[in-house]
A and B are shown apart, each in its own frame.
Chain A
Amino acid sequence: MSLAVEELAVRFGGVAALVDVSFEVEPERITSLIGPNGAGKTTAFNVITGFLRPARGRVLYEGKALTGLRPFQVAERGIVRTFQKTNLFHRVSVLDNVMIGLHLRGRMGFLSILLGDRRVREEETALRGVAEEILAFVGLAHRRDEVASALPYGEQRLLELAVGLAARPRLLLLDEPVSGMNPAEKTTVMGLIRRIREQGVTILLVEHDMRLVMGISDQVIVLHHGRVIAQGPPGEIQSHPEVIRAYLGGR
């Protein structure tokens, strides 16, 4: 098992965002987390990645507890997330966005840097090469010197993906990576996600577009009012009576 979430509970004042949520994510698979607005999907991401402490329950990654770790420590363990709303280093160039994402791949410490150690320059050159590869992978090589905020929306979302990949995830959590994109862009991103999976990365995806979810997922987990109401392969989920009821709007 890659990731295991056990009996999570999160409350915001009177709102129970998560109530006793448990699910598992299989390694090197694409698992989708779906559910109507406000179901608790982003909250689950925030708990897994250390942005929120759950009132109850725990998160295990490869058998070790993540609960209580800070976000950067979660990233150090190979778990990287993207955000639902566009989230970049806005005034920084496209290339530097990815270079920042490569942080954990760098080894050079404070003293080597101050002393101008030769290895620092070697590492910089190597990292730059990796950054350019990643940019080419998501199709943004031609934008490398532009400021992130100057990119059109769809490309900003691609850059977010590139920044996430730069952190070398073994588990990648994507929170609505294609929301607001046009159909062609969506197809591109879905293709990229498949290729990322093929490189051995486990993927947990939040997405509202059911056609895309059913097309790409190995496993689907359905949240509703902070509870898991169904989980299984896409075929089963599509015909699951509770899921249909949740999506048709019953409270």
Chain B
Amino acid sequence: MKRIGPGLLAIVLLTVPLWVGNPYYVHVLIMAGIFAILALSLNLLLGYTGLLSLGHTAFFGIGAYTSALLALRLDWPPWVGFLAAVLVAGLAGYGIGKVSLRLRGAYFVLVTISFAGVIYLVSVNWMELTNGPLGLPDVPPFSLGLPGLFELSIRTKPAAYYLVLAVAGAAYFLCHRLVRSRIGRGFIALRENEALAESVGINGTRYLVLAAVVSAAMAGAAGSLYAHYTRFVSPEVFLFTYTVTMVIMVVAGGKGTLVGPVLGAFLFTALPEALRAVTSWQWQMLLYGVFLILTVFFLPKGVIPTIETWLRERRASP
């Protein structure tokens, strides 16, 4: 079971475009993949270090704008823009970490919210650079290779699906390596008991800043994918609701697990789409809310931790 589960899942994920004919479903899966990267990124902070970033969409948006602007204004190949998006978002995470993490806790929450607010205002008001509220249309699609020599343009939905799957898979495995290492144990130690963590030699500030950088860089990667997939970036990428969605995905799926946020991303991307298909706008919001409350009520720790506890108890009492 333990062996075939992941193998089966890999086969399903790799063959999706072959048997899902409807491009709209593929689109939903692509968005779910982008949100899975965001949820994994937020989870690194919220789930492992215990820090709540309520401005996470800032890093997503920075990634999206960086990649889009480099492609539109400087004609850089999107994959270079992608790397730049990771870098710039990571730097932003470093800055935010440096200014706020000496004080921690609520202060970090406030700094991340304000940062997202400021970045939003910049994106709206710096017309020359960002085109303001009108946004940046005609972002080129993602492409691999070098222009002029060899270029593989990712225009179709199945191609975009595989790209997002690859990046989400990489994000998942990087998180996996990180949280199971001595550095990840450092994150968990700081979440659980900072004084004790420091007294066994864990440099709290350094590790929290590191977590912020990695998390922001991942969100930047998601932003870049988003920009080249939707081919349009506007200040809407900084909307607070995106952050709220990410938090819901992480918490409902199970923070501090790796599968949880990914599952949460799929559930909470697919759910609104499914509701949209069956009912009117007002009912969608209502049902979404009810579903959320039920999840919080019956699975307060999130889906994955609840299943884990259940399995452990079943094994303990055969």
Q: Is A190 an interface residue (CB 8 A)?
A: no
Q: Is B195 an interface residue (CB 8 A)?
A: yes
Chain B 168-205 interface 0/1 with A at a Cβ cutoff of 8 Å (1 = within): 00000010011001110110110011011111111110
Interface window among A110-118, A202-210, A232-240: A110-118
Q: From DSSP, what is the main secondary structure of chain A's interface residues?
A: helix
Contact of A114 among B178, B185, B203 (CB under 8 A): B178
Q: Is A187 an interface residue (CB 8 A)?
A: no
Contacts A87-B195, A108-B181, A163-B196 given: A75-B188 contact, CB under 8 Å? no
Q: Is B210 an interface residue (CB 8 A)?
A: yes
Least CB distance from B183 to A in Å reads 6
Contact of A99 among B174, B183, B185, B201 (CB under 8 A): B185
- Count, chain A residues at interface, CB 8 A: 38
Inter-chain CA distance A76–B203, complex, in Å, is 10
Asked whether, in the complex, the Cβ of B192 is within 8 Å of the Cβ of A90, the reply is: yes
Q: Is A180 an interface residue (CB 8 A)?
A: no
Q: Is A101 an interface residue (CB 8 A)?
A: yes
Cβ contacts under 8 Å, B186 to chain A: 100, 103
Inter-chain CA distance A127–B183, complex, in Å, is 14
Contact of A75 among B189, B192, B198 (CB under 8 A): B198
Cβ contacts under 8 Å, A113 to chain B: 177-178, 181-183
- Interface Cβ pair total, 8 Å cutoff: 92
Asked whether, in the complex, the Cβ of B200 is within 8 Å of the Cβ of A166, the reply is: yes
Asked whether, in the complex, the Cβ of B198 is within 8 Å of the Cβ of A89, the reply is: no
Q: Is A56 an interface residue (CB 8 A)?
A: no
Closest residue of chain A to B192 (Cβ to Cβ) is A89
Contact of A81 among B174, B188, B192, B199 (CB under 8 A): B199
Asked whether, in the complex, the Cβ of A49 is within 8 Å of the Cβ of B199, the reply is: yes
Asked whether, in the complex, the Cβ of B196 is within 8 Å of the Cβ of A103, the reply is: no
Closest residue of chain A to B256 (Cβ to Cβ) is A91
Q: Is A138 an interface residue (CB 8 A)?
A: no
Asked whether, in the complex, the Cβ of A88 is within 8 Å of the Cβ of B196, the reply is: yes
Cβ contacts under 8 Å, A167 to chain B: 199-201
Contacts A113-B183, A114-B178 given: A100-B189 contact, CB under 8 Å? yes
Inter-chain CA distance A123–B182, complex, in Å, is 10
Least CB distance from B157 to A in Å reads 30
Find the residue from B183, B198, B199, B203 having the highest chain A CB count within 10 A.
B199
Cβ contacts under 8 Å, A71 to chain B: 195, 198-199
Cβ contacts under 8 Å, A163 to chain B: 196, 200
Asked whether, in the complex, the Cβ of B189 is within 8 Å of the Cβ of A89, the reply is: yes
Least CB distance from B314 to A in Å reads 16
Asked whether, in the complex, the Cβ of A89 is within 8 Å of the Cβ of B182, the reply is: no
Asked whether, in the complex, the Cβ of B188 is within 8 Å of the Cβ of A92, the reply is: yes
Contacts A103-B185, A113-B183 given: A72-B198 contact, CB under 8 Å? yes
Least CB distance from A122 to B in Å reads 13
Contact of A83 among B174, B183, B195 (CB under 8 A): B195
Asked whether, in the complex, the Cβ of B200 is within 8 Å of the Cβ of A114, the reply is: no
Inter-chain CA distance A90–B193, complex, in Å, is 8
Asked whether, in the complex, the Cβ of A103 is within 8 Å of the Cβ of B202, the reply is: yes
Inter-chain CA distance A102–B200, complex, in Å, is 8
Contact of A88 among B174, B188, B193 (CB under 8 A): B193
- The 11 sampled A-B contact pairs (Cβ below 8 Å) are A51-B199, A87-B195, A88-B193, A88-B196, A89-B193, A99-B185, A100-B185, A100-B186, A100-B200, A101-B200, A114-B177
The 6 lowest CB-CB distance pairs between A and B, nearest first, are A75-B201, A71-B198, A89-B192, A106-B182, A104-B201, A167-B200
A residues at B contact (CB < 8 Å): 49, 51, 70-72, 74-76, 80-81, 83, 87-92, 96, 99-104, 106, 108, 110, 113-114, 116, 120, 123-124, 127, 163-164, 166-167
Knowing that A72-B199, A102-B182 touch, tell me 4 more A-B residue pairs with CB under 8 angstroms: A71-B198, A83-B199, A90-B192, A103-B189
